């Protein structure tokens, strides 16, 4: 169901004291909020500037996948960050954002969401949100990170493409009530502000422990599909670089930097 337009004014009003809402670039339609945010970042946009679109014609998911983005239905948002991190530690931004998204989704639901490593938010086993981070770095520092977030809010199952209908869900489907998208966006930005501030002030351990609280596959056997093959083992959690740690058949730990995690059911 299509709903009222997102209101940057309402979001600003709710976040008057937040730093991660310096300027909202609002568009009725974009190819991708991440693409537009990258252009703005290269032109000198400040940390905390946000791109929001009512519709994306080529929404970007991980591994080159498309993110279904119908008009005035869900939330499509990209945030420009300029973190003081080493390039090797940029995956921490994805994990930080996953905590903020999970916290926000949880505040609208009676049931708890979970994080599927590294960047999907699931409810009752179905995907409700995804995160795509894209960074620009030189040899020594991070120039900027584009944090793209898509959340299914007022997306009815009947409107979803058949390819995702059995794998995806939305707040509308879970609660049978439409969501105020501006209010959801404001709460999400607030939670991102808090989590990002915690990462800067206290480092990754605090965020990591909160991430683990949403991770339901610890101690379970999983298969990981990677660009160059696959592997399997017991999921042990994540390390300081955001890599997934598996215990293989020989008992030795294996670090996974990228891939899709699939639980192995016995």
Judge whether 83 and 197 are in contact, CB under 8 Å: no
Confidence category of residue 66, pLDDT binned at 50, 70, 90: low
The residue-averaged pLDDT of 98-111 equals 96
pLDDT score of 179: 96
Q: Is the pLDDT of residue 265 over 80?
A: no
Q: What is the largest CA-CA distance in the chain?
A: 57
Query: What is the pLDDT at residue 53?
Result: 96
CA distance readout (Å), 218 to 209, 212, 213, 236, 260: 13, 8, 10, 5, 15
Which string of DSSP letters, residue by residue, matches 220-248? SEEEEEETTEEEEEEEEEE-TTS-EEEE-
Cβ 185 vs Cβ 11: under 8 Å? yes
pLDDT 10s digits, 141-160: 899 999 999 999 999 999 99
Separation between Cα atoms, residue 107 and residue 114, nearest integer Å: 13
Per-residue pLDDT at 197: 93
Q: What is the mean pLDDT of residues 94-118?
A: 95
SS3 call for 66: strand
DSSP letter at 45 equals P
pLDDT, tens digit, for every residue of 174-214? Answer: 999 999 999 999 999 999 999 999 999 988 988 999 999 99
Tell me the mean pLDDT in the region 255-264: 86
Q: What's the pLDDT band for 166 if we cut at 50, 70, 90?
A: very high
Asked whether the predicted pLDDT for residue 62 surpasses 60, the reply is no
Q: What percent of the chain has pLDDT over 70?
A: 94
Please say whether the dihedral angle defined by the alpha carbons of residues 163, 76, 26 and 72, taken in this order, is positive or negative: positive
Question: Quick one: average pLDDT of 29-35?
Answer: 94
Q: Please, which pLDDT band fits residue 226 given cuts at 50, 70 and 90? A: confident
How confident is residue 4, by pLDDT bands cut at 50, 70 and 90? confident
Please report the pLDDT score of residue 70 as a whole number.
86
Report which of residues 81 and 22 the model is more confident about: 81
CA distances from 96 to 74, 237, 251 (A): 21, 15, 29
On the question of pLDDT at 65 being above 70, the answer is: no
Total H helices, total E strands in the chain: 6, 12
* Listed residue (39, 48, 138, 132) closest to 91, CA to CA: 132
What is the rounded distance in angstroms from the CA atom of residue 179 to the CA atom of residue 186? 12
In degrees to the nearest 10, what's the CA dihedral of 175, 185, 144, 261?
A: 0
Q: Classify residue 265 as exposed, middle or buried by CB count within 10 Å of its CB (0-12, 13-18, 19+).
A: exposed
Averaged pLDDT for residues 25-30: 96
DSSP E strands, 54-183:
75-81, 114-116, 120-123, 126-137, 142-151
Question: 32 pLDDT exceeds 70?
Answer: yes
For the cut 80, the answer to whether the pLDDT of residue 35 exceeds it is: yes
Query: Token pair for residue 94?
Result: 């994805």
pLDDT for the residue numbered 151:
97
- Answer whether residue 64 shows pLDDT above 60: no
Residues near 118 by beta carbon (within 8 Å), at least 6 away in sequence: 91, 94, 95, 98, 242, 244, 258
């Amino acid at each position: 169901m299509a709903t009222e337009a997102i209101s940057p004014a309402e979001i600003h009003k709710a976040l008057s004291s937040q730093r991660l809402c310096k300027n909202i670039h609002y568009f009725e339609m974009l190819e991708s909020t991440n693409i537009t945010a990258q252009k703005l970042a290269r032109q000198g946009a400040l940390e905390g500037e946000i791109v929001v679109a009512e519709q994306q014609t080529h929404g970007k998911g991980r591994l080159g996948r498309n993110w279904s983005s119908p008009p005035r239905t869900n939330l499509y948002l990209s945030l420009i960050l300029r973190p003081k991190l080493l390039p090797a530690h940029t995956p921490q931004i994805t994990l930080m954002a996953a905590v903020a998204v999970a916290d926000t989704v949880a505040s609208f639901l009676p049931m708890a969401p979970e994080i599927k490593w590294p960047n999907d938010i699931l409810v009752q086993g179905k995907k409700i949100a995804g995160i795509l981070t894209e960074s620009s770095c030189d040899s020594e520092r991070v120039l900027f990170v584009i944090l793209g977030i898509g959340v299914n809010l007022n997306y009815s199952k009947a409107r979803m493409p058949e390819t995702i209908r059995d794998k995806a869900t939305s707040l509308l489907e879970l609660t049978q009530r439409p969501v105020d998208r501006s209010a959801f966006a404001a709460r999400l930005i607030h939670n991102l502000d808090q989590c990002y501030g915690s990462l800067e002030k206290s480092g990754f351990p605090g965020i990591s422990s909160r991430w683990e609280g949403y991770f339901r596959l610890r101690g379970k056997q999983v298969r990981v599909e990677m660009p160059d093959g696959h592997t399997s083992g017991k999921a042990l959690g994540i390390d300081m670089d955001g890599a997934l740690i598996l215990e293989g058949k020989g008992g030795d730990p294996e670090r996974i930097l990228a891939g899709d995690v699939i639980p192995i059911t016995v």
